[in-house]
Structure 1
Amino acid sequence: MADVTTEALGALSNRLKEVEGYLHADDLRSDVEALERQSALPGFWDDAESASKTMADITRMKEDLASIERARALLGDAEAAFELGSETEDADLLGEADSCVAKLEASLAELELSSWFTGEFDHGDAIVNITPGQGGLEAQDWCAMLLHMYLRYCERRGWKVTVNDAPTAEIIGIDRATFTVSGKNAYGMLRAEQGVHRLVRISPTDEKKRRQTTFAGVEVLPVLPDDVEVDVDPKDLRVDVYHATGHGGQGVNTTDSAVRITHLPTGIVVTCQNERSQLQNKEIAMGILRSRLYELELQKREAALDELRGPKQDIGFGSQIRSYVLYPYQMVKDLRTGVETGNVEAVLEDGDLDQFVIGYHRWMVNADRSAPVTG
């Protein structure tokens, strides 16, 4: 017997209409037509940077429109299969209706996400930093586990990842990690991971096998477009070069290719060693530094609430956003939204994070809608 009902199909139809409203589908079509006319004008590519941005906007809007059309087609297929299957009591048709509904629900979840991302950089790429917190050597191992989890998550999402810096720690794990994620809504999605992550498990380094609580901090920054101005005085920079270690292949260790840039006025330090060329590493490190300085300027302007990374917190007890418990029971729980799962392996090993990421953004949207209107 199929799980699909007339009421469920009606609810999905209403949900699709709401999503189309959130995304302003009719306006999107008009915008695409206008931008395509603009792109056909002589001289459009004279400003290559502006032209590339316009083409990226067209691609993104077309993807949303195509997703809406696919959702409509799935809804139509589900309704037809359910109606005919109910009349003929055909189990195969009812099963097809089930399959279409499952695909439709997943498609609607993605469309809803797109409608929630209204920030200036939400549709762009992201820079993610992972830093060990309380927990000693175990915190470095926890950083390595989180890096693996995020790399798997990005793979599941079809995003491109470049590990900029992830030096192997002396005994266990990694000292830190910085990586860049390129893909649709990468920054908007990964904003959900900003904060302190707590791990509870039996210590792998303790001979007495005692329970250990460990912390790591995750920072998520937008990759700034070239047209965003951030003034960096070369006199304020100290650039050090050294042998690269860890990610990047054996060849990176043959020359001083790794780069460390210190911004003297703020004390911000950025390192990059993924590329074989010192020049490439310096260029990437400068891009990360620009993002961090931009964020710092926002903090000065909005001391009460930093829109990019939230209030700054110690990476330790009382400040975590999510707990990963491996002992005495198994559970991953987001402390902001209440979303939880007992399948810890799927999260840590396979990067099954959508339930937490989507749950966070749904929670934020609901919080914004329920907030009292002032002024």
Structure 2
Amino acid sequence: MFDKLEDLVRRFEEITNELTEPSVVNDQNRFRKLMKEQSDLQPLVDAYTEYRKCQETVEDSLAMLESESDDEMREMLKEEMSDAKKRIIELEQEMKILLLPKDPNDEKNVIVEIRAGAGGDEAALFAAEIYRMYVHYAESRRWKTEIVECDEIGIGGMKSVTFMINGQGAYSMMKYESGVHRVQRVPETESGGRIHTSTISVAVMPEVDEDIDIKIEDKDIRIDVMRASGNGGQCVNTTDSAVRLTHYPTGIVVYSQTEKSQLQNKAKAFALLRAKLYDIEQQQRHDAEAEMRRSQIGTGDRSEKIRTYNFPQGRVTDHRINLTLYKLDKIMNGDIQEIIDACIAADQAKKLANMND
């Protein structure tokens, strides 16, 4: 580990020097890439620098204890050495985590697709509530959300909704939300007061950069334009602005109608199609790397039941990590960071265990 850390410190110093060269400053693409690499290495370099200082503190304290006779001074040196040793243990764990392979998609924006499953109207109502939960969570992190497609029902529910979340590191947090979410409660339409169980599915996909090679042949695509439908909007039902794409090889159909311009809807639809095709590639790769799948939390099987929201008892349980929280109201209002942090910690612990094996 320490040989690798020394190499990374040298690389960090090289980047720092390169960033002062006029040829690099004048090349914006090169400059941005180096700045990104430097930013990624900074936490690791800082931790390793502090680690070496703590080691020096231990060595200096030991040397001074050999020649020091004053009891008060010796006690102070022992305390200083003890604090440094504790910090060394903490820093070793931090550096191991920082050295874990990074998900190349972590810093990307995401496209989230929520679909009502079992439970009819009740599932559609819950889908709308989960959508609002994510919007509130995004707002708490100062991320922007934008609807791509929405299929609403008259009582305020959503059969499906697809939306984008734009913000640095959105995928690194939201990727743990993929899977089946289950709700247990008494529906408003239920006169007998019986608890019903309904489900929705959530798919979280990273937005695909233009430099990622996702081939979409013209012959494989059908583009249909039509009048937008739904509630409100100046252009709804007045212009052929809505766009539907059908991808023949996969059978994927995407639809965008939220923009006034057909061109904007077309761009959104293609962005969504690229994300779906990239997601299929990722899933196939994960299936081929079974061990990697087992070492990850929540970025695998979309049919996995990941969480239950029990309204009568006011609790939320994440089944992947056996976490139960009794603050359902806050969670439904977007306070999901504690769950995500627990998933990240569990993910890191599994990866560290695999690395040690």
Range of TM-score over shorter length: 0.7 to 0.9
TM-score when scaled to structure 1?
A: 0.70
Shift in CA distance, 297/206, structure 1 to aligned 2, threshold 3 Å: same
TM-score (norm 2): 0.73
Deviations 1:273-293 (A, max 9, x none): 222111111111111111211
1:196 corresponding residue in structure 2: 180
1:310 alignment partner AA:
G
Partner amino acid, structure 2, of 1:354:
Q
Residues 97 and 352 of structure 2 are in contact (CA less than 8 Å); yes or no, is this contact kept in structure 1? Answer: no
**Residue number in structure 1 paired with 2:300:** 310
**C-alpha spacing 1:131/1:139, structure 2 compared with 1 (3 Å):** same
1:211 matched to which residue of 2?
195
The 5 A counterparts of 1:35-50 are 36-37=19-20, 41=24, 44-45=27-28, 50=29
Equivalent residue pairs, number: 303
- With over 3 angstroms needed to count, the CA separation of the structure-2 counterparts of 1:168 and 1:34, relative to structure 1, is farther
Indicate conservation of the 8 Å contact 2:183/2:310, yes or no. yes
Q: 1:271 to 1:64 in 2, by over 3 A?
A: farther
Q: CA deviation at 1:120?
A: 1.1
For structure 1, which runs of at least 5 residues remain unmatched after alignment? 1-20, 69-109, 314-318
User: Take 2:202 and 2:99, find their aligned partners in 1: how far apart are those partners?
Assistant: 25
SS at match of 2:348: helix
SS, match of residue 227 in structure 1: coil
The answer on whether the counterparts of 2:178 and 2:302 sit within 8 Å (CA) in structure 1 is: no
Aligned partner letter, 2:208: L
1:174 aligns with 2:164: no
Matched, 1:264 2:243: no
| Segment drifting more, 145-154 vs 254-263 | 254-263
Q: Which residue of 2 aligns with 1:356?
A: 339
Q: Which residue of 2 aligns with 1:237?
A: 221
Q: 1:81 — aligned with what?
A: none
CA contact (8 A) 2:19 2:25 kept: no
Could you tell me the percent identity over the aligned residues? 30
- SS where residue 192 of structure 2 aligns? coil
Question: CA 1:115–1:279 in structure 2 vs 1: closer, same or farther (change >3 Å)?
Answer: farther
Q: Per-residue displacement from partner, 1:45-101 (whole Å, max 9, x unpaired)?
A: 4xxxx4585277269549969x98xxxxxxxxxxxxxxxxxxxxxxxxxxxxxxxxx
Contact 2:96 2:352 in 1 (8 A): no
Which stretch shows the higher mean deviation, 299-308 or 270-279?
A: 299-308
Structure 2 regions of 5+ residues with no counterpart?
48-93
- Cα distance in 2 between the residues matched to 1:204 and 1:151: 24
**Judging changes above 3 Å, is the alpha-carbon distance between structure 1 residues 353 and 312 closer, same or farther for their aligned structure 2 residues?**
closer
- Matched with 1:344 is 328
Give the Cα–Cα distance (whole angstroms) in 1 for the partners of residues 39 and 153 of structure 2. Answer: 40
What amino acid is the match of 2:227?
H
Could you tell me which residue of structure 2 aligns to residue 13 of structure 1? none
* Match of residue 297 from structure 1: 281
Seen in structure 2, the aligned counterparts of structure 1 residues 55 and 130 have a Cα distance that, compared at 3 Å, is farther
| SS of alignment partner, residue 162 of structure 2 | strand
Task: Please say if 1:157 is aligned against 2:147.
Answer: no
Partner of 1:323: 308
- The equivalences for 1:265-280 within 5 A come to 265-280=249-264
Contact 1:168 1:245 in 2 (8 A): no
Equivalent of 2:16, from 29, 33, 46?
33
- Report the RMSD for the aligned CA atoms in angstroms: 3.5
Distance change >3 Å, CA 170–CA 263, structure 1 → 2: farther
* Bigger Cα Rg: 2
**Contact 2:8/2:41, CA 8 A, preserved across alignment:** no
Tell me the distance in 2 between the aligned counterparts of 1:162 and 1:55. 31
Contact 1:32 1:61 in 2 (8 A): no
- SS in structure 1 at match of 2:181: strand
Structure 1 position 29, deviation (Å): 5.0
1:138 aligns with 2:117: no
How far apart are the structure 1 equivalents of 2:340 and 2:96?
Answer: 13
Asked whether the 8 Å contact 2:19–2:31 carries over to 1, the reply is no
Q: Aligned equivalents of 2:116 and 2:97: distance in 1?
A: 30
